[in-house]
Amino acid sequence: MLNISIKAEPIFELFGFPITNAFLTSLVVLLILFVGSRYYDQQIKSRKKSQLFYFIHLLLTESYTLFKGILRENTDVLFPLVGAFFFFILLQNWFGLLPGVGSLLVRGQHNTELIPFFRGASADLNTTLALGLVSVVAMQYYGVRFLGWSGYLKKYFNFSNPINFFLGILEIISEISRVLSFSFRLFGNVFAGEVLLLVIAFLIPILVSFPFFMMEIFVGFVQALVFSMLTAVFLSMAVAKHHG
Amino acid sequence: MDAAAMKNLAAGLAIGIGALGPGIGIGLIGAKAAEALGRNPEAESAVRTTTILALAFAEAIAIYALVVALVLKFT
């Protein structure tokens, strides 16, 4: 029967800190990204470059020009953040579609039931909540850095007239709701995709899953793009000078 | 009606009603995107980016309903 759990299950504990299967997956993705970036860094200095280097280089330059359209003159400062978001989320979403993720089972820490060893990391609300929090905190950080404390605080506490004061309160609420919408959008899309794939596989076991896998690959890409694009748009709004 | 049946009914209603609004919204976005392309075919890449972003916003609302339905069903 279908076994769907909405939260990630802890596999073992490390110093009282539960290690969940989603956390393991994001560790693997982090390792892949780390090795990839070390490789790129080492290749860019060597005289003879491999084909893989040019592939990574193409991806980086393409995404750089894409974000340059939004971030404009601040691209060099802000691209590391949004680019990292894009590639991390993209790899996470696609890693969740690999065979073995969700189907390799191990005994849980209390030896009670079988739980999957890997779980798509974006299909865990904790991961996406962390990503959303990083994104929103970065908006505040760059807001202070580009506008200074006075310019930053004036956006939220404006006493020039009652309407502006009320707008400042709304601005605070919208910042908080951004965390929720960021995290729920990513979590919902990826988790819904996993449930959809599972249900389809139970309805018709052969061949029919294939177009849905294609769609999930596309959804994974679009969600990574949307997350990083929205972060870029909000960041460029946060660092823009206000007129009037 | 017992609690489990009520829960299933609530999950169905949550996603059923929650998908109505985003459905209308995605239809409107697609219609306007096609209209914009018809008027101005050379702006295809700009229209596509904006459309996908707007679609993701509209879709996110359906996804909230879906998350609520899934939480109701599987917890």
Chain segment B31-75, per-residue pLDDT in tens: 999 999 999 999 888 888 788 878 878 888 888 888 888 888 877
At residue B38, the pLDDT reads: 94
Nearest CA in chain A to B65: A188
Is A189 in Cβ contact with B59 (below 8 Å)? yes
pTM of the entire predicted model: 0.86
- What was the ipTM of the complex prediction? 0.71
Size of interface A-B (CB pairs under 8 A): 39
Nearest-CA distance from A226 to chain B in Å? 6
Greater model confidence, A43 or A10: A43
Q: Average pLDDT in the A166-170 region?
A: 89
DSSP B15-44: HHHHTHHHHHHHHHHHHHHHHHHHH-GGGH
Closest partner residue to B56 (CB to CB) among A4, A187, A226 is A226
Greater model confidence, A108 or B25: B25
Is B70 in Cβ contact with A191 (below 8 Å)? yes
Closest partner residue to B64 (CB to CB) among A184, A195, A229 is A184
Q: Is A111 part of the contact surface with chain B (CB cutoff 8 Å)?
A: no
Task: Judge whether A82 and A70 are in contact, CB under 8 Å.
Answer: no
B52 vs A contacts (CB less than 8 Å): 222, 225-226
At residue A35, the pLDDT reads: 95
Tokens of A55: 């592939």
Tokens of A80: 């590391």
The model's pLDDT over A66-93, given as tens digits with 9 standing for 90+, comes to 888 888 888 899 999 999 999 999 999 9
d(CA B63, CA A122): 14
Q: pLDDT-based confidence at A111, cuts 50/70/90?
A: low
Q: Is the pLDDT of residue A138 over 70?
A: yes
Q: Is the pLDDT of residue A244 over 50?
A: no
| CA separation, residue A240 to residues A66, A97, A152, A227, B59 (Å) | 19, 39, 10, 20, 28
Q: Is B64 part of the contact surface with chain A (CB cutoff 8 Å)?
A: yes
Burial classification of residue A214, based on how many CB atoms lie within 10 Å of its CB (0-12 exposed, 13-18 middle, 19 or more buried): exposed
Is B52 in Cβ contact with A225 (below 8 Å)? yes
Is A229 in Cβ contact with B53 (below 8 Å)? yes
Closest partner residue to A222 (CB to CB) among B56, B63, B66 is B56
- Mutate one of A184, A190, A198, A228 to test the B interface: name it (highest B CB count within 10 A): A184
Q: Average pLDDT in the A228-242 region?
A: 86
How many angstroms separate the most distant Cα atoms in chain A? 66
CA triple A25-A28-A32, angle to 5 deg: 140
Q: What is the dihedral of CA A115, A118, A119, A121, to 10 degrees?
A: 140
Q: What is the dihedral of CA A200, A204, A205, A210, to 10 degrees?
A: -60
Measured in degrees and rounded to the nearest 5, phi and psi for residue B2 equal -85, 175
d(CA A187, CA A131): 11
